[in-house]
Amino acid sequence: MPARVRHTTTGSGLGGAWRRAHTRVMRVLVVEDSKALRERLVATIAGFEGVHSVIEACDTPSALATCSTAKPDVITLDLHIPGGGGFAVLDSLPAAERPEVIVLSAHATPQYRQRCARAGVRHFFDKAGELGQAVDLVARLARDRARRNPTPVAQRALRERSTASASLAALATLLDVKTECFWVLDETTRRVSMVSPGFEHVFGLSMYGFVEQPEAWLDRVRDEDVKRVGNWHDTDIDEEVRVELPDGGERTVHLKSHVTRDGDGPVTSVLVFARDTTGVHQLEAELEEARRLETLGRVSSGVAHDFNNLLTTMECAADFVAQARVPAEVIPDVELIRATCARGHELTRRILTIGRGQATDKRELNLNEIVTNTIDLAVRMIGPHVEIRAELAEDLADLRGDSFKLEQIVLNLLLRARDSLGGEGRVSVRTANVVDAPKLPKEIPAPAVELTVTDSGAHLDSSSHSGEFEAWEPRGLGAGLGLNTVRDLCTDHGGRLALEQTDAGARVTVLLPALRGPHMRFSEPLDAKKIGGKETILVVDDDLHVRKVLMRSLTRQGYRVLEAADPQTAAKLHAEANGNVDLLVADVMLPRTTGTALARELLARSPKLRVLLISGNPAENLQALGAPEQASFLRKPFGPKDLAQRVRQLLDVSDEEVKA
């Protein structure tokens, strides 16, 4: 039987273009006497990338003739063929330009393998179990040869194949998107000819059943929305509908369809795109809420500023009354006004902190005062059947913190203890100094302040030491923020929260770093005799009542006071005084500019000028406004004594200290 050649150049499409591009990439000779196996090998190899043609031979004479004339690049050789056998073919192959031989034998004995190896064969496969490996080797050889030596036409075909692969990858990515889907309805058969996997997520339906029932998705659409999209297979739609899911949930889906007609005739197909827009609407709602809160924050900031001005006026006026000769029965009323001003001050600070997310005002304070004030507040919340015992260190070191957040720490620990007691029992609150570094965690330097809250509740068991704070929460109770929030408040102060179980309940310990070295505020109050002086002070505030109480307070102390309602007037008064102004007291927020800008302007003219900025906002905000480094800060509301002490302290600072 003469050798038969099967060329692969008859292919069509991209694969055919690739194979036609190679005039001689790789020729394969299949030598096999079994017709069924030979045809199977030829058909398989002919489809490989890089194979130009496949020649088949069924005996030794035809194989020898083909090797001489066609010069194949690869030979798959059966050793047991009629007319002389496969070894005769091996012996006839030239040493130079020897083709790659792949032996396929049903007798894969060691003797055959060794004899083939001596003949230069590198690949020997057993027909019974390694036929697939042999075929894979042919495919790999053809592909490697084609890509090592492509013709110009082949290079272009390779680029086209790469582009097509990228397009297919992009399509695969599109099909894998869960929040979007598309489908194509063939109107001639009333079947869905194509649907993407995202359909199941968007509508909660099986896409396989949908193929036969193209109207099934409408059953998921709310009844009031169906009428707007019910004619989706007759006309283009662009609508948003609500889809009810099998689990009872609901999502919003945007539908867009396009119909294709046979000229002016009937619709032949419909392409529909659907996108889950639930997340988009949620984000829009969150954005709107954020904008609303931002607006509320801006309004609350302005209201708090004006309210602080009112409180400053009231507190100063109350002090003026207390200093006057008034009946003794009036003094309690004055103290009530002062206490009300203090509560109003705390209220405005909380509005700024919570309503606008404003930076809190951390200052030097004593934890004992926080604990005492919080216990007074907590007594009404905890109830009459819970006894609170406080053991507070008399020499407790000061710390720097936010009084509102520290109150939240103490209050929520008391509420947690209340819940663990079931509304009846005893809670112990203790403060102490920790000066020994070995007793402190590495992240907290000595000295530190310790707060412990111990209760006699028994809501924990030995298995609840999971390290998670939720395990220490009373089950089914709780009016506080939770221990995780308390931990975050502690971390915000550079501290640490620890928990342990006692014989009778639980103990919560809070460690906070204490102040070291120089205090961050004037630590020693001035003697009453030292308050007052003869210096010149320029007071700048756009609020008339605040300005008047400031002037009255400072004038009573003997100072010469100049007043201005705006920066322009202040600059004019400073110039008229030839720069002989010792102290500038200015509100941070002024018409058309800021007190910090005014301070920088006047300091450029008078470098020895002392500066006191006043505001109801936290001191940290001054940095963003460009406050001079030597400027001091006094937060509204304040009384005449606070103002007098701060003014005297600033005026007593030497010029060298100001420069430093």
Say if residues 26 and 19 touch (Cβ distance below 8 Å): no
SS (H, E, C) 378-422: HHHHHCCCEEEEEECCCCCCCEEECHHHHHHHHHHHHHHHHHHHC
Q: Which contacts qualify for 408-411: CB closer than 8 Å, 24 or more apart? A: 408/481, 408/486, 408/489, 409/451, 409/486, 409/489, 409/490, 409/510, 410/370, 410/371, 410/374, 410/375, 410/378, 410/451, 410/453, 411/374, 411/377, 411/378, 411/381, 411/480
Please state, rounded to an integer, the average pLDDT across all residues of the chain. Answer: 79
Q: What's the CA gap between 523 and 463, in Å, rounded? A: 49
Q: For Cα atoms 239, 242, 245, give the angle at the middle one, nearest 5 degrees.
A: 140
Average pLDDT over every residue of 560-575: 92
Q: What's the CA gap between 552 and 71, in Å, rounded? A: 115
Match 């003739």 to its residue by tokens.
65
Q: What's the CA gap between 484 and 468, in Å, rounded? A: 9
Is residue 473 over pLDDT 70? Answer: no
Confidence (pLDDT) at 420: 81
- Higher-scoring residue by pLDDT: 378, 81: 81
Rounded (10°) CA dihedral 343, 347, 348, 353 = 140
Residues forming beta bridges with residue 126, ordered by sequence position: 105
Tell me 22's DSSP state.
-
Is residue 642 over pLDDT 90? Answer: no
Instruction: Label residue 561 by pLDDT band (50, 70, 90).
Output: very high
Q: Which contacts qualify for 196-199: CB closer than 8 Å, 24 or more apart? A: 199/274
Q: What's the CA gap between 568 and 242, in Å, rounded? A: 61
Is residue 583 over pLDDT 80? Answer: yes
Q: What's the CA gap between 546 and 587, in Å, rounded? A: 10
Average pLDDT over every residue of 590-603: 88
Instruction: Label residue 173 by pLDDT band (50, 70, 90).
Output: low
Helix (H) or strand (E) holding 75: strand 74-78
Say if residues 233 and 268 touch (Cβ distance below 8 Å): no
DSSP track, 506-542: EEEEEEEEPP-SS-SS--SPPPGGGS--S-EEEEE-S
**Distance set, CA 373 to CA 376, 378, 411 (Å):** 5, 9, 10
pLDDT digits (tens, 9 = 90+) for 134-158: 888 998 888 887 777 665 555 665 5
Residues 538-552: b if buried by 16+ CB within 10 A, e if exposed:
bbbbebeebbbbbbe
Helix (H) or strand (E) holding 314: helix 278-323
Comparing 63-77, 403-417, 433-447, 563-577, the range with the smallest average pLDDT is: 433-447
Is residue 169 over pLDDT 70? Answer: no
Name the amino acid, one letter, at 467. G
Confidence (pLDDT) at 469: 46
Burial classification of residue 118, based on how many CB atoms lie within 10 Å of its CB (0-12 exposed, 13-18 middle, 19 or more buried): exposed
Closest CA to 7 of 57, 33, 42: 42
Is residue 75 over pLDDT 90? Answer: yes
3-state secondary structure of 102: strand
3-state secondary structure of 484: helix
Share of the chain above pLDDT 70, in %: 81
Question: Is CATH 3.90.1150.10 correct for 4-154?
Answer: no
Say if residues 185 and 214 touch (Cβ distance below 8 Å): yes
Name the amino acid, one letter, at 356. R
Average pLDDT over every residue of 30-39: 88
pLDDT digits (tens, 9 = 90+) for 598-620: 999 999 999 889 999 988 766 55
Burial classification of residue 109, based on how many CB atoms lie within 10 Å of its CB (0-12 exposed, 13-18 middle, 19 or more buried): exposed
Say if residues 46 and 54 touch (Cβ distance below 8 Å): yes
528-659 topology per CATH: Rossmann fold (3.40.50)
Instruction: Label residue 560 by pLDDT band (50, 70, 90).
Output: very high
Residues 467-493: b if buried by 16+ CB within 10 A, e if exposed:
eebeebbbeebbebbbbeebbebbeeb
- Higher-scoring residue by pLDDT: 99, 309: 99
Domain ranges of the chain: 4-154, 180-276, 363-513, 528-659
Name the amino acid, one letter, at 196. S
Tell me 360's DSSP state.
P
Name the amino acid, one letter, at 288. E
3-state secondary structure of 343: helix
Confidence (pLDDT) at 589: 83
Q: What's the CA gap between 375 and 382, in Å, rounded? A: 10
DSSP track, 152-174: HHHHHHHHHHHHHHHHHHHHHHH
pLDDT digits (tens, 9 = 90+) for 346-395: 777 766 665 555 555 677 888 988 888 888 777 777 777 888 888 998 88
Q: Which CATH number fits domain 363-513: 3.40.50.720, 3.30.565.10, 3.30.1490.440, 1.10.3720.10?
A: 3.30.565.10
Is residue 477 over pLDDT 50? Answer: no
Average pLDDT over every residue of 500-517: 79
Burial classification of residue 449, based on how many CB atoms lie within 10 Å of its CB (0-12 exposed, 13-18 middle, 19 or more buried): buried
Name the amino acid, one letter, at 450. E
Please give the distance of CA 468 from its chain centroid, rounded to a whole number. 22
Say if residues 402 and 512 touch (Cβ distance below 8 Å): no
Helix (H) or strand (E) holding 186: strand 180-186
**Distance set, CA 482 to CA 429, 468, 474, 485, 565 (Å):** 18, 12, 10, 6, 48
The fourth-level CATH superfamily of domain 180-276 is PAS domain (3.30.450.20)
Confidence (pLDDT) at 14: 36
Helix (H) or strand (E) holding 254: strand 250-261
- The model carries a pTM of 0.42
Domains 4-154 and 528-659 belong to one CATH topology? yes
